[in-house]
Amino acid sequence: MHGVGSQITLVMVLHFNTMRQIKLHKSIVKPKLIAGCERTPFMLVFVSSLLLLVEGTFTVKIVGAAMFIIGVGIIAFLNKKDPFFFKVLFRFLGKQDFYSSSASFPSRPDNPKNKDS
């Protein structure tokens, strides 16, 4: 029973102006990690270093192995601080710097009939 108790998280929820505790299993809150890394950055480092290991000369193979060890170490360190680090980073990088106030579709030219004069 020791393992089951450590995997349960209590969450306080406001329900009809009263506080309730809801038990959530650890697997609902925590993401699955491969070697302490999220899947996307791990696979990016893994595939790029694997290409160097398979197709390169001896020196390039050493660089590929070092790149894998250092890359996985850095990704695991960042995910230890925040398990959703790369999901948040990719979402942030996908946002635009500026959103215009007009409601126009980018690929269509403006219709002159709809302009206010």
| Residue 88 lies inside a defined structural domain of this protein | yes
| Residue 81 lies inside a defined structural domain of this protein | yes
Percent of the chain with pLDDT over 70: 68
| Residue 45 lies inside a defined structural domain of this protein | yes
| Residue 19 lies inside a defined structural domain of this protein | no
Helix, strand, coil percentages in the chain from 3-state DSSP, rounded to 5: 55, 15, 30
Q: What is the pLDDT of residue 24?
A: 74
Q: What is the pLDDT of residue 9?
A: 61
| Residue 43 lies inside a defined structural domain of this protein | yes
- Give the pLDDT confidence of 64-101 residue by residue, as tens digits: 999 999 999 999 999 888 888 888 888 888 887 776 66
Q: Which domain holds residue 39?
A: 32-95
Query: What is the length of the chain?
Result: 117
Q: What is the pLDDT of residue 94?
A: 86
| Residue 5 lies inside a defined structural domain of this protein | no
Q: What is the pLDDT of residue 1?
A: 41
Per the structure, the count of domains in the chain is 1
Amino acid in position 87: K
Predicted model pTM: 0.60
| Residue 108 lies inside a defined structural domain of this protein | no
Residue 74 near residue 81 (C-beta atoms within 8 A): no
